[in-house]
Amino acid sequence: MVPEYSAPTALKSSGSADYRGGIALFEVPISGGIPRRIWTDRRISDSTLWDWSPQGETILYSDDLTGKTPSVSEMDLKTTKRLPFLQDDEYAIYESHFSHDGKWVTFNAITNGRSRLFVTPFRKSLAPRSEWIPITDGHWDDKPRFSYDDRLIFLASDRDGHRCIWAQPLGADMHPGGSPFAVYHAHQRRRSLPNWSDFEMDVGMSMIVVNEEELTGNVSLLEPAKATSP
Ligand SMILES: [Zn+2]
């Protein structure tokens, strides 16, 4: 599972590792030290840690429980109580991330070959689909992240035929508040964004961090051995 940093003031990070066939969640100070195991579940073979709330109380994660529609759970780190947070039979849900004030969560939900982004109020219970606010309506929009001031959603999208980074302004009610605009086009073979499953993105105060890939190929010419003349 991928490590996730908590709020900068807490100076902790967490991650997980296989623990006797299951999954465990650890926290370790960034300054170093012995990791503290917070939680273990031996029934789970894989898990994805999506985000840690800015107040450091809650994590959002997905279990890999085979045969179930992918969903997002929340865990209270004080009690290690776990609850379903985003779960819907029609949608596979991924990439859940908090706003910087901890009041909202953005995520992508996939159905019928389309990935759409939503924002929903964070709550300590299941967030019903009736509360999800649609943010995009494209063919494939993914990796949503709130901007540092929570006024934009940064996202990756194939809406112009390439995987590029766009931004969707938000109104005070967290509904779309204006037209989306391109932040970074990646149309070159040498600087393209990887497949959705390999691509990750995160947003800081004045930068966006992405992994890019370079598509190259080599053509080899194999010359058959020349017949030696007698
Ligand atoms: Zn583009």
Q: Report how far ligand 1's centroid is from the alpha carbon of 183 (Å).
A: 9
Q: Report how far ligand 1's centroid is from the alpha carbon of 122 (Å).
A: 32
Q: Report how far ligand 1's centroid is from the alpha carbon of 158 (Å).
A: 8
- Spatial distance between the Cα atoms of 214 and 43, rounded to a whole number of angstroms: 39
106-143 tens-digit pLDDT: 999 999 999 999 999 999 999 999 999 999 998 999 99
- Kindly tell me the burial class for residue 83, based on how many C-beta atoms sit within 10 Å of its own C-beta (0-12, 13-18, 19 or more): middle
Tokens of 11: 């100076």
Tokens of 212: 């890019």
Q: Report how far ligand 1's centroid is from the alpha carbon of 188 (Å).
A: 10
Using an 8 Å Cβ cutoff, are 51 and 57 in contact?
Answer: no
pLDDT > 90 in the chain, percent? 52
pLDDT exceeds 60 at position 163: yes
Which H, E and C letters describe 5-49, residue by residue?
A: ECCHHHCEEEEEEEECCEEEEEEEECCCCCCEEEEEECCCCCEEE
pLDDT exceeds 60 at position 95: yes
DSSP 59-105: EEEEE--TTSPP-EEEEETTT--EEEEE-BTTBEEEEEEE-TTSSEE
Count Cβ atoms below 10 Å from residue 206 Cβ, excluding itself. Answer: 6
Entry pTM:
0.81
Q: Report how far ligand 1's centroid is from the alpha carbon of 210 (Å).
A: 15
Q: Report how far ligand 1's centroid is from the alpha carbon of 76 (Å).
A: 39
- Kindly tell me the burial class for residue 24, based on how many C-beta atoms sit within 10 Å of its own C-beta (0-12, 13-18, 19 or more): buried
The mean pLDDT value for 77-97 works out to: 94
DSSP 104-122: EEEEEEEETTEEEEEEEE-
- Spatial distance between the Cα atoms of 103 and 101, rounded to a whole number of angstroms: 6
Helix (H, G, I), strand (E, B) or coil at 152: strand
Helix (H, G, I), strand (E, B) or coil at 129: helix
Give the residue carrying structure tokens 């947070």. Answer: 85
Q: Report how far ligand 1's centroid is from the alpha carbon of 167 (Å).
A: 12
210-229 tens-digit pLDDT: 887 766 666 666 676 665 55
DSSP class of residue 160 equals T
Q: Report how far ligand 1's centroid is from the alpha carbon of 192 (Å).
A: 10
The mean pLDDT value for 197-216 works out to: 80
Amino acid at 124: K
pLDDT exceeds 90 at position 207: no
pLDDT exceeds 70 at position 105: yes
pLDDT-derived band at 179, boundaries 50, 70, 90: very high
What are the sequence ranges of the domains in the chain? Answer: 46-210
Q: Report how far ligand 1's centroid is from the alpha carbon of 184 (Å).
A: 7
Does the domain formed by 46-210 have CATH 3.40.50.300?
A: no
